[in-house]
């Protein structure tokens, strides 16, 4: 998408993720159930969340108002403006608000209910190849992950499962990314005063891979499992004296990092290490030579 134009088109605006846009306005979900994000309505005062965003469809509905629609429909109500004024506002404030562009459907949690059938050691050849392509050794993955078999609409699938603090799984395979309920962050508490924060578990595993030959420092870790869960992770993160952020270098990740830096001096942005890449794993997979700035570790 080219943002050098003087305004955004309605087609471009509708591709912007409503969840990320609400986050840029300061609104965080009170509850996440599969692809449904529930908020106290930004359009009126309420104490019981009744404003829902279906992230797969990228549509919202306010049950109290009986209204819903696209990001544009929300914007003209929230800002009390016309469509053209909202499109101009999106463009002019983009450097500050920076909502993310929706990814392809394969990286959005399925709306169908996932039933976990069991978890096992990682042995499937396709998953082993997937780890190899991601430059993650099995010895690292098996410390934190399991091979998960799950069912959707009567069909059985499998993937690498990474458990969150509430017992749900983040699941990834070469073709599909999804998650089982309940959705939550993953914390690893080693009693350290320093925490490293990642957006997804593949980046966390990559970090562990790159530091496996170093003495164990007992650092704590937070895997958000969704940028929308940043607020939920803050109580754990802010117990630490130093919080190193290794978030994605996309629009929502950069926006979240900038907001964190403005909130508390404990937060440190480490994403400049891979500033020319999408995320930590993308850097390790694709960098032909180490960037000038590095972790100070032998990779």
Judge whether residue 94 has pLDDT over 60. Answer: no
Name the CA radius of gyration of the chain, rounded: 20
Report the pLDDT averaged over residues 198-205: 96
Mean pLDDT of the chain: 83
- Strand-strand pairing, 155-163 and 169-172: antiparallel
What is the separation of C-alpha 141 from the centre of its chain, rounded to a whole number of angstroms?
20
Q: What is the mean pLDDT of residues 215-236?
A: 87
Q: Are residues 55 and 21 in the same domain?
A: yes
Last residue of a domain, one of 129, 148, 179: 179
Check whether residue 175 and residue 191 sit in a common domain.
no
Asked if residue 182 has a cis previous peptide bond (ω within 30° of 0), the answer is: yes
If asked whether residues 191 and 282 sit together in one domain, one would say yes
Residue 82 domain flag: yes
| Residue count (the chain) | 299
pLDDT at 299 over 70: no
| Structure confidence at residue 5 (pLDDT) | 45
Number of domains, the chain = 3
Among 130, 162, 179, the domain-final residue is: 179
What is the Cα–Cα distance from 204 to 223, expressed in whole angstroms?
7
Listed range (18-32, 83-97, 146-160) with the worst mean pLDDT: 83-97
pLDDT (tens digit per residue) in 161-177: 999 999 999 999 887 77
Domain of residue 68 covers 10-102
Residue 216: predicted pLDDT: 60
Share of the chain above pLDDT 70, in %: 84
3-state secondary structure of 282: helix
Task: Judge if 127 and 160 occupy the same domain.
Answer: yes
- pLDDT beyond 60 at 291: no
Report yes or no on 16 lying in a domain: yes
Is there a single domain that holds both residue 205 and residue 277? Answer: yes
Q: Which of 102, 123, 146 is the last residue of a domain?
A: 102
**Averaged over 267-296, what is the pLDDT?**
78
- Pairing, β 59-62 against β 51-54: antiparallel
Instruction: Note whether residue 30 is domain-resident.
Output: yes
- CA 59 to chain centroid, in Å, comes to 19
Beta bridge partners of 60: 53, 69
Query: Does one domain contain both 200 and 172?
Result: no
Q: The domain that contains 192 carries what CATH number?
A: 3.40.1360.10
Residues 17 and 77 in one domain: yes
Percent of the chain with pLDDT over 90: 46
Q: Quick one: 119 and 166 in the same domain?
A: yes
**pLDDT tens-digit readout, 229-277:** 999 999 999 999 999 999 998 888 898 999 999 999 999 999 999 988 9
For residue 292, being part of any structural domain is answered with: no
DSSP code, position 122: S
Is 3 inside a domain boundary? no
**Cβ–Cβ < 8 Å for 43, 78:** yes
**Residue 108 is assigned to a structural domain of this protein:** no
Q: What is the pLDDT of residue 93?
A: 53
In a domain, 168, yes or no: yes
The model carries a pTM of: 0.61
Please indicate, yes or no, whether residues 269 and 196 belong to a single structural domain of this protein: yes
Q: How confident is the model at residue 152 (pLDDT cuts 50, 70, 90)?
A: confident
CA 281 to chain centre: 14
pLDDT at residue number 102: 45
Q: Which band of pLDDT confidence, cut at 50, 70 and 90, is reported for residue 217?
A: low
* Same-domain status, 140 and 223: no
CA 257 to chain centre: 12
Token pair for 266 = 């404990």
Q: Binning pLDDT at 50, 70 and 90, where does residue 27 land?
A: confident
Is residue 109 a part of any domain in this protein? no
CATH number at residue 15: 3.90.580.10
Confidence of residue 289 (pLDDT cuts 50, 70, 90): very low
Model confidence at 297, pLDDT cuts 50, 70, 90, reads very low
Residues 275 and 256 in one domain: yes
**Higher-confidence position of 228 and 118:** 118
pLDDT of 295 above 80: no
Are residue 193 and residue 131 in the same domain, yes or no?
no
């Amino acid at each position: 998408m080219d943002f050098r134009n003087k305004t955004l088109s309605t087609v471009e605006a509708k591709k912007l993720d409503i969840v990320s846009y609400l986050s840029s306005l300061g609104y965080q979900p009170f509850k996440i159930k599969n692809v449904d994000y529930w908020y106290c309505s930004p359009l009126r005062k309420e104490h019981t969340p009744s404003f829902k965003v279906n992230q797969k469809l990228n549509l919202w509905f306010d049950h109290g108002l009986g209204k819903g629609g696209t990001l544009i429909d929300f914007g003209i109500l929230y800002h009390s403006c016309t469509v053209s004024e909202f499109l101009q506002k999106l463009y002019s404030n983009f450097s500050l608000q920076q909502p993310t562009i929706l990814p392809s459907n394969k990286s959005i949690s399925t709306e169908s209910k996932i039933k976990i059938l069991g978890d096992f050691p990682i042995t499937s050849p396709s998953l082993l190849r997937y780890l190899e392509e991601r430059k993650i050794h099995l010895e690292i993955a098996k410390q934190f992950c399991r091979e998960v078999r799950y069912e959707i609409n009567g069909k059985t699938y499998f993937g690498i499962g990474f458990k969150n603090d509430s017992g749900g799984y983040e699941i990834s395979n070469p073709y599909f990314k999804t998650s089982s309920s309940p959705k939550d962050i993953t914390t690893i508490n080693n009693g350290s005063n320093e925490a490293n924060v990642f957006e997804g578990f593949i980046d966390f595993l990559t970090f562990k891979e790159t530091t496996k030959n170093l003495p164990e420092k007992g650092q704590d870790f937070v895997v958000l499992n969704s940028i929308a869960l940043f607020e939920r992770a803050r109580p754990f993160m802010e117990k630490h004296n130093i919080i190193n952020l290794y978030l994605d270098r996309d629009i929502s990740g950069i926006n979240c990092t900038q907001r964190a830096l403005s909130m508390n001096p404990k937060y440190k942005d480490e994403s400049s290490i891979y500033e020319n890449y999408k995320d930590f794993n993308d850097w390790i997979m694709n960098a032909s030579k180490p960037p000038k700035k590095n972790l100070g570790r032998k990779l």
